[in-house]
Amino acid sequence: MSTKKRRHRRGGHPAKLARRRDRNAARSQAAARGPNRLARPIVRDALGLSGPLDAELWGSALMGMLWSRRYALRLENLGSTDYARMFGGPLVEAIGRIGGTGARIALSVIEAVDDGELGLRAGELAGEVPEDAGHAVPDWIAALGEAEITDAAVMRDEVFDDACTVFLEARHPDGNVHAVGVLVDHNLGGMAKDVMVVDSIDGVARVMREHPEPNGALKLERISPGIAAGRIHAALELTDMTWDPPVSEDYADLRALALMRADETPRLVVANDRAEMPSAERDRLRDEFLRSPEGQAFAPDSDEAYAVSLAIDFCADYVDGRPLRWSPVVVELFMADWIPRKILNDSELFARLPSALDAWVRFAGRKSNLPEWAVAATREAIPAWHETMVERSEDPAAAGPAKEFLTAVQKAGIDLEDRDALDTFVAGWNARSVMG
């Protein structure tokens, strides 16, 4: 059994990345034919790996293939959430049966990349598989998962702050330096959407200097590796918990590598869960707006005041907890996605929402010291999405479960204040849901 130390866990190079994508595409096609057919090309590919980073990229892509199948556990009601063990277990057994140096290498890589039961079993099998005569396991195997974290940074737009990229830089014992960057989307609650591999953080800084953003808002700041690792962990976990997350094409392939680097970081700082904004604080912020130059024309019981309350709730509950942070993308998500899914079609409210949101964006921009050009760009997005908001609000397919239920109540003529009538309707609704 392997004695390689396990990573702690809470809860590229362009040519190599291209080669990894080609390999993974072939493996994905073979996966449908079963673990025995998939194991042979894996063993063959393992013999061509050139060093620890190349191997970790390769193993991360293999784990990404398993990660991409995780929803099948729910759909097939298999009663397990350990997708790596369920789908990868038969695969590592098949690799072990093939045997030889290639199998030893492949199993050692899987052991390093997966920190769960699959990795443990792969390590056990690696210790049992003999090498091929005259074809020894390479010395770099010992360096897998043993990179030293040397630097960390965060790159973000200081104006809109829609997202940031958190970097961890590492050096393998052979001197190979690289950095893994995880894109964290603040507009989706802080989930990870993309992972990249670059030569170094200094290289990123150099590219930023040579190709600056027109508005100069993009900044790179060094941070503690422990803080970076904690933020990466939290972002990856949120993506794992999200059904069908909107991740990039490379995300699955590089997810395990990002997790490895975070796990190797000493003194990881656990990212705090975002505290829910109290209702009283939301009301105070809305009332401050209604007393401000931007909002004083709106009555407290007006549709405009209600629209602003919705805007505050949207950012507080569904974005990143900062109701004063608005950007063109936040406007799009609010008007074109959230409102149609959550709010019953109300022509008067929808007619007044743009002016209320425009005033709120001006108020929030002033409170946040946002540059005038940024406030203007955000305001311009409001009329651009108004028609889409109305159209999607009229589309039953765009409604969320709560809105679908309230729409049905409304069509049935049920008074929401009539408790008996509402209870009877709910009982019928639930019965129809079970039947259908």
Residue 38 contacts residue 91 (beta carbons within 8 Å): yes
Helices 401-411 and 419-435, packing angle to 10 deg: 120
Residue 424: pLDDT band (50, 70, 90) is: low
* Within-domain flag for 329: yes
Residue 21 phi, psi dihedral angles, 5° rounding:
-60, -40
Residue 413: pLDDT band (50, 70, 90) is: low
Tell me, what's the pLDDT at 327? 97
User: Do residue 241 and residue 332 come from a single domain?
Assistant: no
Q: Structural domain of residue 394, as residue ranges? A: 279-398
Average pLDDT over residues 119-140: 89
E strand segments, 209-341: 218-222
Tell me, what's the pLDDT at 120? 94
* Within-domain flag for 9: no
Round to whole Å and give the CA distance between 274 and 390: 32
Query: What would the pLDDT profile of 41-90 be if each residue is shown by its tens digit?
Result: 999 999 999 999 999 999 999 999 999 888 766 655 555 567 788 889 99
* Within-domain flag for 286: yes
Tell me, what's the pLDDT at 305? 97
* Within-domain flag for 328: yes
> Domain boundary residue among 120, 143, 166?
143
User: Do residue 99 and residue 27 come from a single domain?
Assistant: yes
Roughly how many angstroms between the first and final C-alpha of the chain, as a whole number? 51
Lowest pLDDT segment from 100-114, 368-382, 388-402: 388-402
Residue 180 contacts residue 149 (beta carbons within 8 Å): no
Tell me, what's the pLDDT at 403? 47
User: Do residue 289 and residue 306 come from a single domain?
Assistant: yes
* Within-domain flag for 368: yes
Report the domain count for the chain: 4
Q: Is the pLDDT of residue 236 over 50?
A: yes
Residue 380: pLDDT band (50, 70, 90) is: very high
Tokens read off for 382 = 């409001």
User: Do residue 152 and residue 260 come from a single domain?
Assistant: yes
Q: Is the pLDDT of residue 150 over 60?
A: yes
Average pLDDT over residues 267-296: 94
Lowest pLDDT segment from 76-80, 214-218, 343-347, 393-397: 76-80
Q: Is the pLDDT of residue 360 over 50?
A: yes
User: Do residue 26 and residue 119 come from a single domain?
Assistant: yes
Round to whole Å and give the CA distance between 38 and 90: 10
Query: What would the pLDDT profile of 303-328 be if each residue is shown by its tens digit?
Result: 999 999 999 999 999 999 999 999 99
User: Do residue 392 and residue 290 come from a single domain?
Assistant: yes
Quote the mean pLDDT of the chain: 85
User: Do residue 137 and residue 161 come from a single domain?
Assistant: no
Tell me, what's the pLDDT at 401? 53
Q: Which of 156, 173, 325 is nearest to 228 (CA)?
A: 156
> Domain boundary residue among 230, 264, 298?
264
> Domain boundary residue among 143, 166, 193?
143
Residue 135: pLDDT band (50, 70, 90) is: confident
User: Do residue 409 and residue 387 come from a single domain?
Assistant: no
User: Do residue 260 and residue 198 come from a single domain?
Assistant: yes
Tell me, what's the pLDDT at 200? 97
Lowest pLDDT segment from 13-17, 126-130, 167-171, 352-356: 13-17
DSSP string, 103-161: HHHHHHHHHHH--SHHHHHHHHHHHHSPPBTTBPPPGGGGGTT-PEEEEEEEEEETTT-
User: Do residue 20 and residue 136 come from a single domain?
Assistant: yes
Average pLDDT over residues 389-418: 60
User: Do residue 153 and residue 135 come from a single domain?
Assistant: no
* Within-domain flag for 428: yes
Q: pTM for this one?
A: 0.83
Mapped onto helix, strand or coil, the DSSP state of residue 9 is coil
**Residues ≥6 apart with Cβ < 8 Å to 383:** 354
Round to whole Å and give the CA distance between 121 and 117: 6
User: Do residue 367 and residue 417 come from a single domain?
Assistant: no
Tell me, what's the pLDDT at 277? 95
Q: In the chain, what percentage of residues exceed pLDDT 90?
A: 68
Residue 17: pLDDT band (50, 70, 90) is: very low
* Within-domain flag for 271: no
Residue 399: pLDDT band (50, 70, 90) is: low
* Within-domain flag for 270: no
Average pLDDT over residues 366-371: 96
Q: Count CB neighbours of 341 within 10 A.
A: 15
